[in-house]
C-alpha cells in the first residue's frame, strides 16, 4: 500500500480520496476548503497544512482541481515540484487545457519527476462507486506505476499516449457529448411540434441510427427516460457550466491544432448562451430549454 498526497478534495476528489483510503492507502489531503478536508479527516486521512506539506513524504501526489491555472499554481514554482521527495509520481486527474497539462509535464520532467495526466469520466456517481474511466497521458512505464493507484478509484483505465493525450481524449469525448445533447434537443422539440409523442421518439430513435448513450440514458426531454436528470428537474448529473468549460477547452485545442470543428463551435456557443441565461448549475440536458424555454 502507498502513501498518497491528495490535493483538491471537492465533489470529485472527495469521494476519490475516500476510495483510496478504503483500498488501504495512507492519505494526506489538502484543499483550500477546510470543510472539504474535514470530511476526509473523518474518513481516516491526515490533514496536510499546505500544498507543500501534502507533497512531502509520499509516494504519489494526486490532484483533482478545477482548471489549468489551479494545476499550474499547485505544481509549479515552490509547489508540488519544488517540495516532493525524489521518486514521487504525480497524477493529475483534473480536466484542463492541453497547453497547461503539457507545461506541467515538462516542468516535472525537468525537475526529475514522473507524471501522468489522468482526467476522468463517470461524474460524481462514478467517483463515489470507484467506477471512473481514467484517460491517461505520459510515458507508458509511468502509467504502469500509476495504475495500482488508479485502480482504487476506477474500473476502466486506459493508456492514451504521450503527455497531455489523456486531456485530448477527454475533450474530444465531451465535444461529442455536448454536440449530441444539443442536436437531440433539437430533434425531440421538432418531433413534438410535428405531433409525435416524446416517448415514441425515444423508443424508436434509441434503437435506430440516431441512437446514442444520450438518447438511451440522458435524453433531454423530461419523462422520456425514467431516472434521467431531465426527469428529475434537471438536477445534475453533469452541470451545464462544466460542459461549457470542456467545450471551450475543445475549441482552444482545435485552434491550436488548426483542426476545423464547426459543430463543436456551435455547441460551445449554444452552451455559452444557456449558461448566460442562468442555467449553468442545471444538468447539461437542460440545454433543451434553449430550444424550447417552456419544455416540461
Ligand atoms: P470542485 O470545485 O467540487 O472541487 C475542486 C476542489 O479544488 C475544491 O474543493 C477547491 O477548493 C480545490 N482547490 C482549488 N484550487 C486549489 C488550490 N490551489 N489548492 C488546493 N485546493 C484547491 O470541482 P469537481 O467537480 O471536483 O471537479 C474537479 C475536476 O474534475 C474539474 O477539472 C472538472 O472538470 C473535472 N470533472 C468533474 C466532473 C463532475 O461531474 N463534477 C466529471 C468529470 C471531470
Q: How many CB atoms lie within 10 A of CB 208?
A: 9
Task: Tell me, letter by letter, the H, E, C secondary structure of the chain.
Answer: CCEEEEECCCCCHHHHHHHHHHCCCEEEEECCCHHHHHHHHHCCCEECCCHHHHHCCCCEEEECCCCHHHHHHHHCCCCHHHHCCCCCEEEECCCCCHHHHHHHHHHHHHCCCEEEECCEECHHHHHHHCCEEEEEECCHHHHHHHHHHHCCCEEEEEEEECCCHHHHHHHHHHHHHHHHHHHHHHHHHHHHHCCCCHHHHHHHHCCCCCCCHHHHHCCCCCCCCCCCHHHHCCCCCCEHHHHHHHHHHHHHHHHHHCCCCHHHHHHHHHHHHHHHHHHCCCEHHHHHHHHCCCCC
pLDDT of residue 236: 87
* CATH code given to domain 3-162: 3.40.50.720
pLDDT of residue 116: 98
Catalytic residue among 28, 72, 170, 289: 170
pLDDT tens for residues 163-175?
999 999 999 999 9
Q: Is 12 in the pocket of ligand 1 (CB under 6 A)?
A: yes
CA max distance for the chain: 66
289 belongs to the catalytic site = no
For ligand 1, pick from 19, 65, 92 the residue to mutate: most ligand atoms within 8 Å of CB.
65
> Whose CA is closest to atom 36 on ligand 1?
95
Compute the distance from residue 289 Cα to the ligand 1 centre, in Å. 27
pLDDT of residue 124: 86
Half-sphere exposure of 120 (CA within 13 A, CB side): 30
Which residues of the chain, if any, have pLDDT below 50?
none
Domain span(s) for CATH 1.10.1040.10 in the chain: 168-291
Domain span(s) for CATH 3.40.50.720 in the chain: 3-162
Ligand 1: atom nearest CA of 123 is 40
* CATH code given to domain 168-291: 1.10.1040.10
Separation between Cα atoms, residue 246 and residue 171, nearest integer Å: 6
pLDDT of residue 87: 98
pLDDT tens for residues 75-94?
999 999 999 999 999 999 99
Q: Is 30 in the pocket of ligand 1 (CB under 6 A)?
A: yes
Amino acid at each position: 500500500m502507498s502513501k498518497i498526497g491528495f490535493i483538491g478534495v471537492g465533489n470529485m476528489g472527495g469521494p476519490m480520496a475516500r476510495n483510496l483510503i478504503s483500498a488501504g492507502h495512507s492519505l494526506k489531503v489538502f484543499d483550500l476548503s477546510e470543510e472539504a478536508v474535514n470530511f476526509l479527516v473523518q474518513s481516516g486521512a491526515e490533514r496536510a497544512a499546505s500544498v507543500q506539506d501534502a507533497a512531502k513524504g509520499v509516494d504519489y501526489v494526486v490532484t483533482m482541481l478545477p482548471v489549468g491555472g489551479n494545476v499550474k499554481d499547485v505544481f509549479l514554482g515552490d509547489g508540488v515540484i519544488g517540495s516532493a521527495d525524489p521518486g514521487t509520481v504525480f497524477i493529475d486527474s483534473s480536466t484542463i487545457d492541453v497547453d497547461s497539462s503539457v507545461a506541467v509535464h515538462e516542468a516535472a520532467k525537468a525537475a526529475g519527476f514522473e507524471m501522468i495526466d489522468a482526467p476522468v469520466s463517470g461524474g460524481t456517481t462514478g467517483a463515489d462507486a470507484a467506477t471512473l474511466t481514467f484517460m491517461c497521458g505520459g510515458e507508458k512505464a509511468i502509467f504502469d506505476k500509476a495504475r495500482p493507484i488508479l485502480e482504487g478509484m476506477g474500473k476502466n483505465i486506459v493508456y492514451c499516449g504521450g503527455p497531455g493525450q489523456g486531456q485530448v481524449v477527454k475533450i474530444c469525448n465531451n465535444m461529442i457529448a455536448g454536440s449530441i445533447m444539443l442536436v437531440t434537443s433539437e430533434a425531440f422539440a421538432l418531433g413534438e411540434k410535428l405531433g409525435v409523442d416524446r416517448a415514441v421518439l425515444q423508443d424508436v430513435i434509441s434503437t435506430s441510427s440516431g441512437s446514442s448513450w444520450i438518447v438511451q440514458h440522458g435524453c433531454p426531454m423530461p419523462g422520456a427516460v425514467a431516472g434521467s436528470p431531465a426527469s428529475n428537474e434537471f438536477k445534475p448529473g453533469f452541470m451545464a457550466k462544466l460542459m461549457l468549460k470542456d467545450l471551450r477547452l475543445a475549441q482552444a485545442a482545435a485552434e491550436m491544432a488548426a483542426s476545423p470543428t464547426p459543430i463543436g463551435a456551435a455547441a460551445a456557443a449554444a452552451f455559452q448562451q444557456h449558461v448566460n441565461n442562468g442555467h449553468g448549475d442545471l444538468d447539461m440536458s437542460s440545454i433543451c430549454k434553449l430550444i424550447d424555454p417552456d419544455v416540461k
